[in-house]
Amino acid sequence: MNIVKAGDILKIKTGRYDANHGVADGKYTFFTCADIPSKANTFSFDDEVLILPGNGANVGNVYHYKGKLEAYQRTYVLYDIDAYPKFLYYYFSKYWIRQITKRQVGSATNYIKMDDIVSFKIPLPPLTTQKRIAQILDNAAALRDKTQQLLTEYDQLAQSIFLEMFGDPVINPKGWENESIDVISRKIQIGPFGSQLHQSDYKEFGYDLVNPTDINEGKIDLVNCRKIGVSKFDSLPNYHLEIGDLIMARRGDLSKIAIVQNENLFCGTGSLYIRFNEQVNSMYAFYVLNHKSSISKLYEKARGITMANLNKKIIKEFKIPVPTLNLQNQFAEKIGLIEQQKALVKQELQQTEDLFNCLLQKAFKGELV
């Protein structure tokens, strides 16, 4: 197997335009350094290419594209490839981020240089072997993506059920009684301020704090939560979370919201929580406040110029429709069934991800074909 440098088997060029070149209804795909490409009305490349973000948070990512495209001035386009492009895509997907992490330039803003790509070493088997490896990995990736799509469809089903039963919560087409959260809650609490929680209070072991960074896709992720010790936790009972509470960001990204599903959690500084009374099912309230129209309304009411900020008064006065508890409970039961199915699909997704990564590992050790 030959070891070659990327610069010996392909050409490299950056785009010419800044991000303002993009248009919402453009004809061609426009790759910037963002994770999701936009559109443009021009194209500078018409080939099967690899795209590498040149700066920012997505340095280390790699994208494959075939056809006409436009590129941002700090995006590297690898074209005129003298190898099977999809084989190179998978090799870059596995090893490029490792390479660039070691050689990355810049501290405030990550960026790469042309020579990083030119000198990148690639083990290159015969073309027929490249194609066979790419086909096997394509099949494994398709299985993984199909499983991921099933999760997306379950989420769409849940949203569809909510809208069918209750309608848009801001428009309130069913005519339910609108109540302020203050009336239908037992407690509304903003996270502790700096005077109550200091850097020295954070410990390696202890009780998990839930900040907005720990809320993703409607769930609390405890993996990277900061922690406080027993004495500090006990001294601040107002911030103890209970199962069924709704916790959400009080500043910044107001779409960060989740239902508390574990005991002994602590409301972080950047969060707030709502403990609804017996009139409201937490699952129903989650879908109301997580709906795009409710989030937009929260942004409208938020304080702050550079960053949206919510306070207790805003939350107290925020109104939501309150249908009968029986109807809310019926909705929660349906969502519970969907969540059970999603849990099974997530297990399958992990298995397909493990399979793909295993095949990827074997492919470039010469163990796959």
Looking at residue 366, what is its pLDDT? 84
Look up the CATH number of domain 2-124: 3.90.220.20
Element (H, E) at 116: helix 114-118
| Residue 238 DSSP class | G
CATH hierarchy code of domain 177-322 = 3.90.220.20
Per-residue pLDDT at 158: 98
Supply the pLDDT for residue 106.
54
Residue 99 vs residues 70, 95, 262: alpha-carbon distances, Å: 26, 6, 39
Measured distance CA(279)–CA(19) in Å, rounded: 48
Report pLDDT for 122: 96
User: Which strands form 271-276's sheet, in the order they lie side by side?
Assistant: 185-190, 271-276, 246-249, 257-259
Predicted pLDDT of residue 108: 53
Which pLDDT value is given to residue 104? Answer: 55
φ and ψ at 351, to 5 degrees? -65, -45
Residue 120 CA to residue 7 CA, distance in Å, equals 8
User: Which residues, other chains included, contact 337 with Cβ-Cβ below 8 Å and sequence gap of 6+?
Assistant: none
Strands 75-79 and 38-40: unpaired
β-pairing, 63-71 vs 28-31, is parallel
Q: Is 226 helix (H, G, I), strand (E, B) or coil?
A: coil
Pinpoint the residues of the chain covered by CATH 3.90.220.20: 2-124, 177-322
Contact 273, 267 (CB under 8 A): yes
pLDDT at 60: 92
Answer yes or no: are the C-beta atoms of 331 and 161 closer than 8 Å: yes
Which residues is 322 bridged to in the sheet?
177
- Kindly report, residue by residue over 181-207, the tens digit of the pLDDT: 999 999 999 999 878 988 899 999 999
Instruction: Report whether CATH 3.90.930 matches the domain 125-165+325-369.
Output: no
SS3 content of the chain, % helix, strand, coil (to 5): 40, 25, 35
pTM exceeding 0.85 = no
Q: What is the pLDDT along the chain (369 residues), one digit of tens a residue?
A: 789 999 999 999 999 999 899 999 999 999 999 999 999 999 999 999 999 999 988 999 999 999 999 999 999 999 999 999 999 999 999 999 988 877 655 555 578 899 999 999 999 999 999 999 999 999 999 999 999 999 999 999 999 999 999 999 999 999 999 999 999 999 999 999 878 988 899 999 999 999 999 999 999 999 999 999 999 999 999 999 999 999 999 999 999 999 999 999 999 999 999 999 999 999 999 999 999 999 999 999 999 888 999 999 999 999 999 999 999 999 999 999 999 999 999 999 999 999 999 999 999 988 887
Residues whose CB is less than 8 angstroms from the CB of residue 53 and which lie 6 or more positions away in sequence, other chains included = 32, 33, 34, 59, 60, 61, 74, 75, 76
What does the pLDDT look like over 30-42, one tens digit per residue? 999 999 999 999 9
Which residues belong to CATH 1.10.287 in the chain? 125-165+325-369
